[in-house]
Structure 1
Amino acid sequence: MDGLCNVAGVGDKVTINGTEYHLSIPTPLDFGELERHVVSLRGNPFAELAKCIDEFPPEARHEALKGAADSIAHRSVRATQDEVGAFSGTADGIFFMLYLMLRKGHPEIDRPEKADELIREINEAETAGLMRVVSSLWTIETAAKNLP
C-alpha cells in the first residue's frame, strides 16, 4: 500500500532466538536519541589528552589544550545525516536501533547491550526478521523527514 502503517505507529513483530518481540515504530524522540548517541561516539579530545598531557613539555601543554578546545569549538552538536546513516549501517548501529524499537514493549531491554545479547546467537532463518527491522527503519526515517 502506501506505508501509512509506518507513520501510524502500528509496529511489527520479529522472532529472535525463538521468542517473538514487538517492535515499536521509532518516534521523533528515538531519532533524537539515535542522533545524540552518534554525536557521543565522536569522543572527547580532553579525555584523550588527559591520558598523556603529563608527558608533554610544559610549553606544549597550552598548545595541546588549545587544540582540544578548538576541536570541540568547531564541532557541530548535531550529527549529520551521513553520520547517522553510516552508523545505522554498522552492527553496533543496528543493535542500537533495535534497542530503541524493542525497549517500549519489553521493559527488560533497558539498555543497548540487552539488544546486543539477544542477537548474539541469531540463526540464519531469523536474519530475515532483522532485515525487516532495518528496512522499516529506513521507511520510518524517510517518513520522519517529511513530518512538519
Structure 2
Amino acid sequence: MGKRETIRALTAGDLARLGTASVLLLCCWGGVVVSFARLRAALLWAADKARVPGSPSPSRIVWAVHVVDQRLPGERKCLVRSLTAEVLLHLYGFSPTHRIGVDRTTEGDIQAHSWLVWNDDVLIGQLPDLDSFEELPPLGQR
C-alpha cells in the first residue's frame, strides 16, 4: 500500500490529530528552550479550554505523536514528545501523569527521561530500563 492509499484509509479524526500533533511538536520543540514550566502551563490551559470532539483512545492519540515525530525533520527529545502527547491527550479530556526520572550512566553522568502514565500504563516514553530511573514527584497534577 502506497502513501496515498494509507492517507485515504485514515479517518478525519486521525488526520486532525496528525495535524494537531505536528503543530504541537513544533511548538514544544521550539518552546522548551524558553521555559518548560511556562510552556506546559500555557499549553495545558489552552487544551482545557479548547476541548475537541471525538473519543479516540489514549493509545490512538499517542500514535499521532509517534507518526508525526518520525516524519518531521530533526530530532526531538523525550520531553518534547511527552509534552506534545500530554497536551493532545488533554484536548480529548484525558489527564495522564507526566513523570520525569533521573539515572546515572555507567560513566557516572546523570541522565533524565520523561514519560506519560495513564491507568498504570506507560503511554509514551517506554524504555527497557525505565525502572532504573528514580522518579521525581509527578509534574503538577491538574
Give the structure-2-normalised TM-score: 0.28
Which structure dedicates a bigger proportion of its chain to strand? 2
